[in-house]
Structure 1
Amino acid sequence: MFWVLFLLVAWAGVLVSCTLLVRSAAEAAEPPAGPVTVRRPGELTRCEAAYLAGGPQRVAELTLVAMEREGRLLLAHTGWATVVDPVGRDALERSVLAAFGPDGQSPIADVRGAVAAAAPVGQLAERLCAAGLAIREEVRSGVSQGVRAVCGAALLVLALCAAALSVPGGGTPARLVLCWFALPLVLALACLAMAVSDGLQHSAWASPAGQRLLSGVDLADGGYLTAVAVRGISAVPDPGVRAALSCDDRALIPRQRGH
Protein backbone atom coordinates (compact mmCIF):
# COMPACT_ATOMS: atom_id res chain seq x y z
CA MET A 1 0.00 0.00 0.00
CA PHE A 2 3.02 2.31 -0.28
CA TRP A 3 1.51 3.68 -3.51
CA VAL A 4 -1.15 5.44 -1.43
CA LEU A 5 1.48 7.94 -0.28
CA PHE A 6 2.19 8.80 -3.91
CA LEU A 7 -1.55 9.23 -4.44
CA LEU A 8 -1.85 11.62 -1.49
CA VAL A 9 1.01 13.74 -2.83
CA ALA A 10 -0.65 13.80 -6.27
CA TRP A 11 -3.96 14.95 -4.77
CA ALA A 12 -2.22 17.65 -2.73
CA GLY A 13 -0.46 19.05 -5.80
CA VAL A 14 -3.62 19.09 -7.89
CA LEU A 15 -5.80 20.65 -5.19
CA VAL A 16 -3.30 23.42 -4.42
CA SER A 17 -2.70 24.29 -8.07
CA CYS A 18 -6.39 24.21 -9.01
CA THR A 19 -7.22 26.44 -6.04
CA LEU A 20 -4.57 28.91 -7.20
CA LEU A 21 -5.96 28.97 -10.75
CA VAL A 22 -9.59 29.31 -9.67
CA ARG A 23 -8.74 32.12 -7.27
CA SER A 24 -6.77 33.98 -9.94
CA ALA A 25 -9.55 33.49 -12.50
CA ALA A 26 -12.09 34.84 -10.01
CA GLU A 27 -9.93 37.94 -9.47
CA ALA A 28 -9.71 38.46 -13.23
CA ALA A 29 -13.50 38.33 -13.52
CA GLU A 30 -14.14 40.72 -10.63
CA PRO A 31 -15.63 44.11 -11.59
CA PRO A 32 -13.59 47.21 -10.70
CA ALA A 33 -14.03 48.69 -7.25
CA GLY A 34 -14.95 52.16 -8.50
CA PRO A 35 -17.78 53.36 -10.74
CA VAL A 36 -17.71 52.01 -14.30
CA THR A 37 -18.63 54.09 -17.35
CA VAL A 38 -20.76 52.09 -19.75
CA ARG A 39 -19.06 51.88 -23.14
CA ARG A 40 -20.29 50.70 -26.52
CA PRO A 41 -18.11 48.99 -29.16
CA GLY A 42 -18.15 52.11 -31.34
CA GLU A 43 -16.75 54.18 -28.49
CA LEU A 44 -13.48 52.24 -28.32
CA THR A 45 -10.57 54.04 -29.94
CA ARG A 46 -8.24 52.02 -32.14
CA CYS A 47 -5.50 52.14 -29.52
CA GLU A 48 -7.91 50.96 -26.83
CA ALA A 49 -9.07 48.09 -29.03
CA ALA A 50 -5.44 47.23 -29.78
CA TYR A 51 -4.55 47.08 -26.09
CA LEU A 52 -7.56 44.97 -25.20
CA ALA A 53 -6.87 42.58 -28.08
CA GLY A 54 -3.10 42.25 -27.81
CA GLY A 55 -1.66 44.39 -25.05
CA PRO A 56 1.19 46.92 -25.27
CA GLN A 57 2.90 45.17 -28.19
CA ARG A 58 -0.25 45.45 -30.28
CA VAL A 59 -0.53 49.17 -29.53
CA ALA A 60 3.07 49.65 -30.66
CA GLU A 61 2.46 47.68 -33.85
CA LEU A 62 -0.69 49.68 -34.61
CA THR A 63 1.20 52.95 -34.22
CA LEU A 64 4.01 51.77 -36.48
CA VAL A 65 1.57 50.60 -39.16
CA ALA A 66 -0.38 53.88 -38.98
CA MET A 67 2.80 55.94 -39.38
CA GLU A 68 4.00 53.73 -42.24
CA ARG A 69 0.66 54.07 -43.98
CA GLU A 70 0.95 57.87 -43.87
CA GLY A 71 4.49 57.72 -45.27
CA ARG A 72 6.16 58.98 -42.11
CA LEU A 73 8.05 55.74 -41.46
CA LEU A 74 9.64 53.21 -43.78
CA LEU A 75 9.37 49.60 -42.58
CA ALA A 76 11.81 47.39 -44.45
CA HIS A 77 11.30 43.64 -44.88
CA THR A 78 14.76 43.25 -43.31
CA GLY A 79 13.30 44.27 -39.95
CA TRP A 80 14.59 47.86 -39.83
CA ALA A 81 12.58 51.06 -39.65
CA THR A 82 13.59 54.50 -40.95
CA VAL A 83 12.12 57.84 -39.91
CA VAL A 84 10.79 59.98 -42.77
CA ASP A 85 8.85 62.60 -40.81
CA PRO A 86 10.47 63.30 -37.40
CA VAL A 87 7.42 65.12 -35.97
CA GLY A 88 5.08 63.13 -33.75
CA ARG A 89 1.41 64.06 -33.75
CA ASP A 90 0.55 62.54 -30.38
CA ALA A 91 2.25 60.98 -27.36
CA LEU A 92 2.39 57.50 -28.90
CA GLU A 93 4.02 58.73 -32.09
CA ARG A 94 6.50 60.77 -30.10
CA SER A 95 7.42 57.64 -28.12
CA VAL A 96 8.01 55.85 -31.44
CA LEU A 97 10.32 58.58 -32.70
CA ALA A 98 12.16 58.72 -29.36
CA ALA A 99 13.00 55.02 -29.74
CA PHE A 100 15.11 55.66 -32.84
CA GLY A 101 18.81 56.37 -32.82
CA PRO A 102 20.38 59.66 -33.92
CA ASP A 103 20.45 58.55 -37.56
CA GLY A 104 16.71 57.85 -37.60
CA GLN A 105 17.10 54.11 -38.10
CA SER A 106 16.51 51.22 -35.70
CA PRO A 107 15.46 47.55 -35.65
CA ILE A 108 11.67 47.36 -35.52
CA ALA A 109 11.83 44.93 -32.60
CA ASP A 110 13.71 47.52 -30.51
CA VAL A 111 11.25 50.28 -31.40
CA ARG A 112 8.26 48.08 -30.65
CA GLY A 113 9.65 47.06 -27.27
CA ALA A 114 10.47 50.64 -26.31
CA VAL A 115 7.01 51.90 -27.28
CA ALA A 116 5.28 49.05 -25.44
CA ALA A 117 7.14 50.02 -22.26
CA ALA A 118 6.68 53.79 -22.72
CA ALA A 119 4.54 56.00 -20.49
CA PRO A 120 1.72 56.62 -23.04
CA VAL A 121 0.96 52.90 -23.26
CA GLY A 122 1.12 52.58 -19.48
CA GLN A 123 -1.33 55.45 -19.10
CA LEU A 124 -3.66 53.86 -21.65
CA ALA A 125 -3.53 50.59 -19.71
CA GLU A 126 -4.28 52.37 -16.45
CA ARG A 127 -7.33 54.08 -17.95
CA LEU A 128 -8.68 50.81 -19.30
CA CYS A 129 -8.08 49.02 -16.01
CA ALA A 130 -9.81 51.81 -14.09
CA ALA A 131 -12.78 51.52 -16.46
CA GLY A 132 -13.01 47.78 -15.83
CA LEU A 133 -12.14 46.89 -19.43
CA ALA A 134 -8.60 45.54 -18.94
CA ILE A 135 -7.02 43.13 -16.48
CA ARG A 136 -4.23 44.42 -14.29
CA GLU A 137 -0.72 43.03 -14.65
CA GLU A 138 -0.65 41.34 -11.26
CA VAL A 139 -3.93 39.54 -11.98
CA ARG A 140 -2.74 38.36 -15.42
CA SER A 141 0.44 37.14 -13.80
CA GLY A 142 -1.53 35.22 -11.21
CA VAL A 143 -3.68 33.52 -13.86
CA SER A 144 -0.61 32.57 -15.87
CA GLN A 145 1.08 31.15 -12.78
CA GLY A 146 -2.07 29.21 -11.95
CA VAL A 147 -2.19 27.63 -15.40
CA ARG A 148 1.48 26.65 -15.17
CA ALA A 149 0.91 25.21 -11.69
CA VAL A 150 -1.99 23.03 -12.89
CA CYS A 151 0.07 21.83 -15.87
CA GLY A 152 2.89 20.95 -13.48
CA ALA A 153 0.47 19.15 -11.16
CA ALA A 154 -0.87 17.06 -14.06
CA LEU A 155 2.67 16.02 -14.96
CA LEU A 156 3.35 15.28 -11.30
CA VAL A 157 0.33 12.93 -11.19
CA LEU A 158 1.66 11.02 -14.19
CA ALA A 159 5.13 10.78 -12.68
CA LEU A 160 3.81 9.62 -9.31
CA CYS A 161 1.53 7.10 -10.99
CA ALA A 162 4.51 5.65 -12.83
CA ALA A 163 6.45 5.56 -9.56
CA ALA A 164 3.55 3.82 -7.78
CA LEU A 165 3.33 1.17 -10.47
CA SER A 166 7.05 0.54 -10.23
CA VAL A 167 6.95 -0.11 -6.47
CA PRO A 168 7.28 -3.88 -5.98
CA GLY A 169 4.83 -5.84 -3.88
CA GLY A 170 1.72 -4.59 -2.19
CA GLY A 171 -0.69 -6.89 -4.00
CA THR A 172 -2.78 -4.05 -5.44
CA PRO A 173 -3.78 -4.61 -9.09
CA ALA A 174 -2.22 -2.12 -11.48
CA ARG A 175 -5.65 -1.34 -12.93
CA LEU A 176 -6.89 -0.20 -9.53
CA VAL A 177 -3.82 2.02 -9.03
CA LEU A 178 -4.41 3.60 -12.44
CA CYS A 179 -8.05 4.29 -11.60
CA TRP A 180 -7.13 6.05 -8.36
CA PHE A 181 -4.52 8.22 -10.07
CA ALA A 182 -6.94 9.00 -12.87
CA LEU A 183 -9.13 10.98 -10.45
CA PRO A 184 -6.68 13.83 -9.66
CA LEU A 185 -5.54 13.83 -13.28
CA VAL A 186 -9.12 14.31 -14.51
CA LEU A 187 -9.59 17.17 -12.04
CA ALA A 188 -6.42 18.90 -13.28
CA LEU A 189 -7.36 18.46 -16.94
CA ALA A 190 -10.90 19.69 -16.31
CA CYS A 191 -9.52 22.80 -14.62
CA LEU A 192 -7.24 23.42 -17.59
CA ALA A 193 -10.13 22.88 -20.00
CA MET A 194 -12.14 25.56 -18.23
CA ALA A 195 -9.16 27.90 -18.44
CA VAL A 196 -8.87 27.26 -22.18
CA SER A 197 -12.58 27.84 -22.75
CA ASP A 198 -12.33 31.21 -20.96
CA GLY A 199 -9.13 32.22 -22.77
CA LEU A 200 -7.28 32.37 -19.46
CA GLN A 201 -4.35 30.30 -20.67
CA HIS A 202 -3.30 33.37 -22.63
CA SER A 203 -3.72 35.74 -19.66
CA ALA A 204 -6.14 37.83 -21.73
CA TRP A 205 -5.58 41.57 -21.61
CA ALA A 206 -9.29 42.34 -21.73
CA SER A 207 -11.66 41.76 -18.84
CA PRO A 208 -15.03 40.10 -19.56
CA ALA A 209 -16.50 43.57 -20.13
CA GLY A 210 -13.61 44.46 -22.44
CA GLN A 211 -13.99 41.20 -24.36
CA ARG A 212 -17.67 41.95 -24.94
CA LEU A 213 -16.77 45.35 -26.36
CA LEU A 214 -14.10 43.83 -28.60
CA SER A 215 -16.49 41.21 -29.94
CA GLY A 216 -18.83 44.01 -31.00
CA VAL A 217 -16.25 46.01 -32.96
CA ASP A 218 -17.34 46.24 -36.61
CA LEU A 219 -14.23 45.45 -38.63
CA ALA A 220 -16.01 46.07 -41.92
CA ASP A 221 -16.82 49.66 -41.03
CA GLY A 222 -13.70 50.30 -38.97
CA GLY A 223 -11.24 50.10 -41.85
CA TYR A 224 -7.76 48.70 -42.27
CA LEU A 225 -6.25 50.05 -39.03
CA THR A 226 -9.15 48.78 -36.93
CA ALA A 227 -8.56 45.29 -38.32
CA VAL A 228 -4.88 45.59 -37.39
CA ALA A 229 -5.84 46.72 -33.89
CA VAL A 230 -8.12 43.73 -33.32
CA ARG A 231 -6.38 41.00 -35.33
CA GLY A 232 -2.75 42.07 -35.26
CA ILE A 233 -0.19 42.10 -38.04
CA SER A 234 -1.93 39.22 -39.81
CA ALA A 235 -4.49 41.82 -40.95
CA VAL A 236 -1.81 43.93 -42.71
CA PRO A 237 -2.42 43.51 -46.46
CA ASP A 238 1.08 44.56 -47.55
CA PRO A 239 3.33 41.47 -47.38
CA GLY A 240 6.45 43.65 -47.08
CA VAL A 241 5.13 45.46 -44.02
CA ARG A 242 3.90 42.18 -42.59
CA ALA A 243 7.36 40.68 -43.04
CA ALA A 244 8.98 43.73 -41.46
CA LEU A 245 6.82 43.49 -38.34
CA SER A 246 7.41 39.74 -38.13
CA CYS A 247 11.21 40.02 -38.12
CA ASP A 248 11.49 40.47 -34.34
CA ASP A 249 15.18 40.12 -33.48
CA ARG A 250 16.14 38.77 -36.90
CA ALA A 251 16.71 42.17 -38.50
CA LEU A 252 19.30 42.00 -41.24
CA ILE A 253 20.59 45.10 -43.05
CA PRO A 254 19.25 48.59 -42.33
CA ARG A 255 17.17 50.06 -45.06
CA GLN A 256 18.78 53.26 -46.33
CA ARG A 257 16.94 56.53 -46.80
CA GLY A 258 15.49 57.01 -50.22
CA HIS A 259 15.23 53.28 -51.02
Structure 2
Amino acid sequence: MFWVLLLLPAWAVAGVACTRLCLAAVRAAAWDTGAAPADRDHDLTLYEAAFLSGGPARVAEVTLVSMARQRRLLLAHTGWATVVDPRGRDEMERSAIGAIGPEGQSRIAPVRAALATADSVRGLADRLVSAGLAVPEGSAADISSGVRQVRAAALAVLALGATALLLPGPTGMPRGLISLWFALPLALTLSCLAIARVEIHPHARWASPAGQRLLGTLARRA
Protein backbone atom coordinates (compact mmCIF):
# COMPACT_ATOMS: atom_id res chain seq x y z
CA MET A 1 0.00 0.00 0.00
CA PHE A 2 3.01 2.29 -0.35
CA TRP A 3 1.35 3.80 -3.42
CA VAL A 4 -1.18 5.49 -1.13
CA LEU A 5 1.66 7.55 0.34
CA LEU A 6 2.35 8.80 -3.18
CA LEU A 7 -1.32 9.45 -3.92
CA LEU A 8 -1.74 11.79 -0.94
CA PRO A 9 0.90 14.33 -2.05
CA ALA A 10 -0.45 14.08 -5.61
CA TRP A 11 -3.86 15.20 -4.37
CA ALA A 12 -2.25 17.83 -2.13
CA VAL A 13 -0.21 19.54 -4.84
CA ALA A 14 -3.10 19.41 -7.29
CA GLY A 15 -5.61 20.80 -4.80
CA VAL A 16 -3.36 23.60 -3.56
CA ALA A 17 -2.32 24.70 -7.05
CA CYS A 18 -5.87 24.73 -8.42
CA THR A 19 -7.15 26.56 -5.34
CA ARG A 20 -4.52 29.26 -5.69
CA LEU A 21 -5.37 29.80 -9.34
CA CYS A 22 -9.08 30.00 -8.56
CA LEU A 23 -8.47 32.51 -5.75
CA ALA A 24 -6.31 34.65 -8.04
CA ALA A 25 -9.06 34.62 -10.67
CA VAL A 26 -11.67 35.55 -8.05
CA ARG A 27 -9.56 38.46 -6.80
CA ALA A 28 -9.06 39.69 -10.36
CA ALA A 29 -12.80 39.46 -11.01
CA ALA A 30 -13.53 41.34 -7.78
CA TRP A 31 -11.14 44.12 -8.84
CA ASP A 32 -12.78 44.32 -12.25
CA THR A 33 -16.21 44.66 -10.65
CA GLY A 34 -15.05 47.49 -8.43
CA ALA A 35 -12.92 49.25 -11.01
CA ALA A 36 -13.88 52.57 -12.50
CA PRO A 37 -16.11 52.21 -15.57
CA ALA A 38 -14.08 52.43 -18.76
CA ASP A 39 -14.83 54.93 -21.48
CA ARG A 40 -16.19 52.90 -24.39
CA ASP A 41 -15.42 55.75 -26.79
CA HIS A 42 -11.79 55.93 -25.71
CA ASP A 43 -9.46 55.87 -28.70
CA LEU A 44 -6.36 53.88 -27.85
CA THR A 45 -3.03 55.39 -28.71
CA LEU A 46 -0.27 53.27 -30.19
CA TYR A 47 1.45 52.98 -26.82
CA GLU A 48 -1.79 52.15 -24.98
CA ALA A 49 -2.63 49.39 -27.45
CA ALA A 50 0.89 48.04 -27.13
CA PHE A 51 0.68 47.94 -23.34
CA LEU A 52 -2.71 46.25 -23.28
CA SER A 53 -1.58 43.61 -25.75
CA GLY A 54 1.86 42.87 -24.32
CA GLY A 55 2.70 44.99 -21.31
CA PRO A 56 5.80 47.16 -20.77
CA ALA A 57 8.02 44.98 -22.94
CA ARG A 58 5.68 45.45 -25.90
CA VAL A 59 5.63 49.23 -25.35
CA ALA A 60 9.43 49.26 -25.45
CA GLU A 61 9.50 47.23 -28.66
CA VAL A 62 6.85 49.36 -30.36
CA THR A 63 8.64 52.58 -29.39
CA LEU A 64 11.95 51.43 -30.83
CA VAL A 65 10.41 50.03 -34.01
CA SER A 66 8.30 53.17 -34.53
CA MET A 67 11.37 55.39 -34.24
CA ALA A 68 13.30 53.13 -36.58
CA ARG A 69 10.53 53.26 -39.21
CA GLN A 70 10.65 57.06 -39.06
CA ARG A 71 14.43 56.88 -39.56
CA ARG A 72 15.13 58.63 -36.26
CA LEU A 73 16.69 55.51 -34.80
CA LEU A 74 18.83 52.87 -36.43
CA LEU A 75 18.33 49.27 -35.30
CA ALA A 76 21.18 47.25 -36.75
CA HIS A 77 21.06 43.52 -37.36
CA THR A 78 24.16 43.26 -35.21
CA GLY A 79 22.04 44.15 -32.16
CA TRP A 80 22.97 47.82 -31.76
CA ALA A 81 20.68 50.85 -31.55
CA THR A 82 21.98 54.20 -32.82
CA VAL A 83 20.25 57.54 -32.35
CA VAL A 84 19.78 59.47 -35.59
CA ASP A 85 17.52 62.26 -34.30
CA PRO A 86 18.15 63.06 -30.61
CA ARG A 87 14.90 65.03 -30.27
CA GLY A 88 12.18 62.83 -28.84
CA ARG A 89 8.67 63.71 -29.95
CA ASP A 90 6.98 62.35 -26.82
CA GLU A 91 7.90 61.02 -23.39
CA MET A 92 8.31 57.46 -24.65
CA GLU A 93 10.79 58.48 -27.33
CA ARG A 94 12.68 60.67 -24.86
CA SER A 95 12.87 57.71 -22.49
CA ALA A 96 14.21 55.54 -25.31
CA ILE A 97 16.87 58.10 -26.21
CA GLY A 98 17.78 58.41 -22.54
CA ALA A 99 18.06 54.62 -22.23
CA ILE A 100 20.50 54.54 -25.15
CA GLY A 101 22.71 57.01 -23.33
CA PRO A 102 24.72 60.13 -24.13
CA GLU A 103 26.97 58.34 -26.60
CA GLY A 104 23.98 57.78 -28.88
CA GLN A 105 24.61 54.08 -29.31
CA SER A 106 23.93 51.00 -27.20
CA ARG A 107 22.98 47.35 -27.41
CA ILE A 108 19.28 46.88 -28.13
CA ALA A 109 18.57 44.38 -25.32
CA PRO A 110 19.56 46.64 -22.39
CA VAL A 111 17.82 49.59 -24.04
CA ARG A 112 14.62 47.59 -24.34
CA ALA A 113 14.88 46.43 -20.72
CA ALA A 114 15.53 49.95 -19.41
CA LEU A 115 12.71 51.43 -21.45
CA ALA A 116 10.25 48.82 -20.17
CA THR A 117 10.89 49.99 -16.59
CA ALA A 118 11.01 53.71 -17.35
CA ASP A 119 8.81 56.19 -15.50
CA SER A 120 6.96 57.00 -18.72
CA VAL A 121 5.88 53.36 -19.11
CA ARG A 122 4.87 53.09 -15.45
CA GLY A 123 2.87 56.29 -15.82
CA LEU A 124 1.13 54.84 -18.88
CA ALA A 125 0.27 51.70 -16.90
CA ASP A 126 -1.13 53.74 -14.01
CA ARG A 127 -3.32 55.78 -16.34
CA LEU A 128 -4.71 52.65 -18.00
CA VAL A 129 -5.43 51.04 -14.63
CA SER A 130 -7.18 54.21 -13.43
CA ALA A 131 -9.25 54.22 -16.63
CA GLY A 132 -10.32 50.62 -16.02
CA LEU A 133 -8.58 49.36 -19.15
CA ALA A 134 -5.63 47.53 -17.57
CA VAL A 135 -5.37 45.21 -14.60
CA PRO A 136 -3.08 45.98 -11.67
CA GLU A 137 0.33 44.40 -11.89
CA GLY A 138 -0.28 42.23 -8.82
CA SER A 139 -3.43 40.62 -10.24
CA ALA A 140 -1.73 39.78 -13.51
CA ALA A 141 1.27 38.28 -11.72
CA ASP A 142 -0.96 36.21 -9.42
CA ILE A 143 -2.84 34.65 -12.33
CA SER A 144 0.33 33.90 -14.28
CA SER A 145 1.93 32.38 -11.19
CA GLY A 146 -1.21 30.31 -10.56
CA VAL A 147 -1.14 28.89 -14.08
CA ARG A 148 2.53 27.96 -13.71
CA GLN A 149 1.83 26.24 -10.39
CA VAL A 150 -1.00 24.19 -11.87
CA ARG A 151 1.25 23.11 -14.74
CA ALA A 152 3.93 22.08 -12.25
CA ALA A 153 1.32 20.21 -10.21
CA ALA A 154 0.21 18.26 -13.29
CA LEU A 155 3.80 17.19 -13.93
CA ALA A 156 4.22 16.26 -10.27
CA VAL A 157 1.10 14.08 -10.37
CA LEU A 158 2.38 12.34 -13.47
CA ALA A 159 5.73 11.68 -11.82
CA LEU A 160 4.15 10.36 -8.62
CA GLY A 161 1.76 8.17 -10.59
CA ALA A 162 4.54 6.72 -12.68
CA THR A 163 6.54 6.02 -9.53
CA ALA A 164 3.58 4.24 -7.95
CA LEU A 165 3.05 2.06 -11.02
CA LEU A 166 6.72 1.14 -11.18
CA LEU A 167 6.98 0.07 -7.56
CA PRO A 168 8.33 -3.47 -7.29
CA GLY A 169 6.46 -6.20 -5.47
CA PRO A 170 2.75 -6.52 -4.65
CA THR A 171 0.78 -3.29 -4.34
CA GLY A 172 -2.41 -4.69 -2.82
CA MET A 173 -4.47 -3.40 -5.73
CA PRO A 174 -4.45 -3.91 -9.51
CA ARG A 175 -2.20 -1.42 -11.21
CA GLY A 176 -5.05 -0.37 -13.46
CA LEU A 177 -7.02 0.85 -10.44
CA ILE A 178 -3.94 2.62 -9.10
CA SER A 179 -3.59 4.51 -12.35
CA LEU A 180 -7.24 5.53 -12.11
CA TRP A 181 -6.69 6.95 -8.64
CA PHE A 182 -3.84 9.09 -9.96
CA ALA A 183 -5.89 10.02 -13.01
CA LEU A 184 -8.31 11.94 -10.77
CA PRO A 185 -5.87 14.64 -9.55
CA LEU A 186 -4.36 14.74 -13.02
CA ALA A 187 -7.81 15.35 -14.50
CA LEU A 188 -8.33 18.11 -11.93
CA THR A 189 -5.18 19.97 -12.94
CA LEU A 190 -5.69 19.49 -16.67
CA SER A 191 -9.31 20.64 -16.52
CA CYS A 192 -8.23 23.69 -14.51
CA LEU A 193 -5.64 24.51 -17.16
CA ALA A 194 -8.20 23.99 -19.93
CA ILE A 195 -10.66 26.36 -18.27
CA ALA A 196 -7.93 28.93 -17.74
CA ARG A 197 -6.93 28.66 -21.40
CA VAL A 198 -10.51 29.27 -22.53
CA GLU A 199 -11.51 31.90 -19.98
CA ILE A 200 -8.26 33.84 -19.68
CA HIS A 201 -7.67 35.79 -22.89
CA PRO A 202 -4.06 36.09 -24.08
CA HIS A 203 -4.27 39.82 -23.33
CA ALA A 204 -5.81 39.24 -19.88
CA ARG A 205 -2.45 39.53 -18.17
CA TRP A 206 -2.45 43.24 -18.98
CA ALA A 207 -5.88 44.25 -20.32
CA SER A 208 -9.08 44.27 -18.32
CA PRO A 209 -12.27 43.01 -20.03
CA ALA A 210 -12.97 46.59 -21.09
CA GLY A 211 -9.45 46.90 -22.47
CA GLN A 212 -9.82 43.61 -24.30
CA ARG A 213 -12.99 44.89 -25.95
CA LEU A 214 -11.19 47.99 -27.17
CA LEU A 215 -8.37 45.83 -28.53
CA GLY A 216 -10.98 43.71 -30.31
CA THR A 217 -12.42 46.86 -31.85
CA LEU A 218 -8.98 47.81 -33.16
CA ALA A 219 -8.52 44.34 -34.63
CA ARG A 220 -11.82 44.55 -36.47
CA ARG A 221 -10.90 47.94 -37.89
CA ALA A 222 -7.54 46.69 -39.14
TM-score in terms of structure 1 length: 0.78
User: Quick check: 1:78 aligned with 2:116?
Assistant: no
What does 1:1-259 align with in structure 2 at a 5 Å threshold?
1-30=1-30, 31=32, 33-40=34-41, 43-165=43-165, 166=167, 168-199=169-200, 204-218=205-219
Change (3 A) 1:193 1:26: same
Question: What is the CA deviation profile of residues 32-65 of structure 1, one whole-angstrom value per residue up to 9, with x for unaligned ones?
Answer: 634323223x611111100001111111122122
Q: Distance in 1 between matches of 2:162 and 2:219?
A: 52
Q: Is the 1:75–1:81 Cα contact (8 Å) retained in structure 2?
A: yes
Q: Is the 2:52–2:203 Cα contact (8 Å) retained in structure 1?
A: no
Q: Distance in 2 between matches of 1:6 and 1:148?
A: 22
Q: Is the 2:154–2:189 Cα contact (8 Å) retained in structure 1?
A: yes
Shift of 1:103: 2.2
Question: What is the CA deviation profile of residues 180-214 of structure 1, one whole-angstrom value per residue up to 9, with x for unaligned ones?
Answer: 11111011001011122234688621122211111
Change (3 A) 1:167 1:136: farther
Change (3 A) 1:209 1:167: farther
Q: Is the 2:203–2:212 Cα contact (8 Å) retained in structure 1?
A: no
Alignment root-mean-square deviation, CA: 2.1
Q: Distance in 1 between matches of 2:97 and 2:163?
A: 58
Q: Is the 2:54–2:203 Cα contact (8 Å) retained in structure 1?
A: no
Shift of 1:219: 6.7
Q: Secondary structure at the match of 1:81?
A: strand
Q: Is the 2:6–2:164 Cα contact (8 Å) retained in structure 1?
A: yes
Q: Which amino acid in the other structure matches residue 69 of structure 2?
A: R
Change (3 A) 1:220 1:39: closer
Q: Distance in 2 between matches of 1:150 and 1:8?
A: 17
Shift of 1:104: 0.8
Q: Is the 1:95–1:115 Cα contact (8 Å) retained in structure 2?
A: yes
Q: Distance in 2 between matches of 1:145 and 1:131?
A: 25
Q: Distance in 1 between matches of 2:161 and 2:94?
A: 57
Q: Distance in 2 between matches of 1:142 and 1:200?
A: 15
Change (3 A) 1:171 1:202: farther
- Structure 2 unmatched runs, 5+: none
Q: Is the 1:144–1:201 Cα contact (8 Å) retained in structure 2?
A: no
Q: Secondary structure at the match of 2:170?
A: coil
Shift of 1:216: 1.0
Q: Distance in 2 between matches of 1:19 and 1:159?
A: 21
TM-score in terms of structure 2 length: 0.90
Q: Is the 1:28–1:207 Cα contact (8 Å) retained in structure 2?
A: no
The count of corresponding residues between Structure 1 and Structure 2 is 220
Q: Which amino acid in the other structure matches residue 49 of structure 2?
A: A
Q: Distance in 1 between matches of 2:28 and 2:168?
A: 43
Q: Is the 2:135–2:206 Cα contact (8 Å) retained in structure 1?
A: yes
